[in-house]
Structure 1
Amino acid sequence: MASYKFECLSVSISAEGVAHVEINRPKALNAFNTQTWTEIGECFARFRSDGDVRSVVLSASGRMFTAGLDLKEAAAGPLAKGSDAGANVDVARRGYYHRLHILTFQDAISAVETCDKPVVVVVHGGCLGIGIDLISACDIRVCTEDTYFMVKEVDIGMAADIGTLQRLPKIVGSDSWVREVCYTARKIPSKEAHVVGLVSNVLATKEEAMKHAFELATAIAFKSPVAVVSTKHLLNYSRDHTVREGLEYTAIWNTMAHNSHDMPLAIMSSLQKKKARFPKL
């Protein structure tokens, strides 16, 4: 089994194939510095091709899920400077390197979505700014009763640019609600997040939420890995395309996936009323 060692993340993988990724900067309220988002991108990119990983639980240590972007680092980093070419460089050149930095940041968070292994995220306490970008890239979101969410970017003079404005409208059915919370940066309590569909379940405590998340992830891990990764891949594709395009792509995809050993094994196990055990990818 592969070893995952990071500075800002704690990673473990169970015998069942459930990976647990914990954001681990509690003294900084899990604020995202460059190291944090870089490691998330690297970690989930590795999960994509790791057959020992079948599903993922994502959580955070300490008092809250994340306080958002590490503003101290951001004030002195690429977001502030644009490039290393000096203060007198023209706006086009500064903008060019600034754009590359944003794209790299986007790719790191998008690695959670493009990792074909389903990700269940447990949110507790505050989830601000980049936290919304991150959880929007996850498959299943659960939270604790004390959780609150904030699309915080307007309060630091910018539009959210790492995925919230693209994914949140497709998660939540109300365009009006999405615009309200993105324009105002107001607090969204857990109950409201549940009502609008941002989270699928609200648990009383973090311990209960973690238990629920691991139960979900373990149930997923016991399914055919071919079926699970295909389902996530096709859900993501169909979300971003028309129904007809999604159907045609699914037909092509399943001409390969239907040839796995998992289908006859699953059918025979169902007929025999036995629990199938599927080989890893």
Structure 2
Amino acid sequence: MSETRDWQCFEIATDDHGIAHITLNRPEKRNAMIRAFWDELPEAIRMLDKSGEVRVIVISSTGPHFTAGIDLTGFADMTGNLGAGESDIHREANRGLDFYAMAKRMQDAFTALESARVPVVAAIQGGCIGGGVDMVSACDMRFCTEDAYFTVYEINIGMTADVGTFPRLLNLLPEGIVRELSYTGRKMGAEEAARYGLANKVYTDHAAMMDGVMEMAREIATKAPMAVHGIKNIITHARDHKTAETLDYIALWNASMLKQSEVMTAMMAKQSGEPGKFAPLPPLKKVSGEEE
């Protein structure tokens, strides 16, 4: 699937288990999120999700740091160049509209992780800074090396984080901790992140982390794809809705989506000890007016 596209910010590979591995590949720039990143990430996620063949997406990185966050040079460029001769009022209005459109575009890039039908797993080493926190908080799970740390860095450059940190981080950490991290910009180390539940597990080094993450991804890939899709969908819905609403939603989901063939295949696999031969997720169909 990745052969049809030259990626500037990533390397993408899929294996026979249905695991897609997205690797941030700009270690010399600490994997900073340049302008192309905001187009490539959602495109890559939607491409992988579209076929239905992928069961799990793993996002990892290269070099000493997971990501330094938003590339500030590209960030300044994305706010747009103001036209000569514009009045101060028009200039300020255009700046605000340009910034709003840019923020929505960046938010959409990370919402694609949350909206994917399959689990998205982040494997984090070194610094996960600024926009990196936004990205991994939109993933289903986060695994770390011992040297990993998280920092809501925006306060240090006079900004309020706006790409997803607060609405998602508040679902992963106690409110007081989120406020402390955000007001101070301090680093939260891997062990502290695991203690509060932001990180699922901490590994000694990158190789051990990737072995553990891929082993878990292969385990998920053996499960019924529609059931995994349903679980991700319902957990996200439950997070954002009241219990009674989610109970009704899951009843409707299973009434319309539960596949008897998947249940039978899963039961047979359990009895035989052999991997179940499940049908892939149905390919996503193009919506009218949607670009390829």
The reply to whether TM is greater than 0.5 is yes
Give the 3-state SS of the residue equivalent to 1:116 in structure 2: coil
Identity, % of aligned positions? 36
The 8 Å contact of residues 226 and 260 in structure 1, kept in 2 or not, is answered as: no
Q: How far off is 1:267 after superposition?
A: 2.1
Distance 1:256 1:268 in 2: 23
- The 5 Å alignment of 1:50-199 reads 50-75=51-76, 77-79=77-79, 81=80, 84-86=82-84, 88=87, 89-172=90-173, 174-199=174-199
Label 1:66 to 1:251 Cα distance change in 2 as closer, same or farther (>3 A). same
Distance 1:8 1:227 in 2: 32
Q: Please name the residue that 1:43 is paired with.
A: 44
Give the 3-state SS of the residue equivalent to 2:58 in structure 1: strand
TM-score by length of 2: 0.90
Label 1:229 to 1:153 Cα distance change in 2 as closer, same or farther (>3 A). same
- The 5 Å alignment of 1:183-222 reads 183-222=183-222
Q: Please name the residue that 1:17 is paired with.
A: 18
The RMSD of aligned alpha carbons is: 1.6
Q: Could you give the per-residue CA deviations for residues 203-232 of structure 1, whole angstroms, max 9, x where no partner exists?
A: 000000001110111111111111111111
The 8 Å contact of residues 141 and 199 in structure 1, kept in 2 or not, is answered as: yes
Q: How far off is 1:41 after superposition?
A: 1.1
The 8 Å contact of residues 44 and 112 in structure 1, kept in 2 or not, is answered as: yes
Q: Please name the residue that 2:231 is paired with.
A: 231
One-letter amino acid matched to 1:182 = S
Structure 1, gaps ≥5 residues long: none
Distance 1:132 1:98 in 2: 20
Distance 2:44 2:273 in 1: 37
TM-score by length of 1: 0.94
Q: How far off is 1:156 after superposition?
A: 1.0
Distance 2:219 2:274 in 1: 15
Give the 3-state SS of the residue equivalent to 1:170 in structure 2: coil
Q: How far off is 1:21 after superposition?
A: 0.2
Q: How far off is 1:277 after superposition?
A: 2.1
The 8 Å contact of residues 47 and 117 in structure 1, kept in 2 or not, is answered as: no
The 8 Å contact of residues 38 and 105 in structure 2, kept in 1 or not, is answered as: no
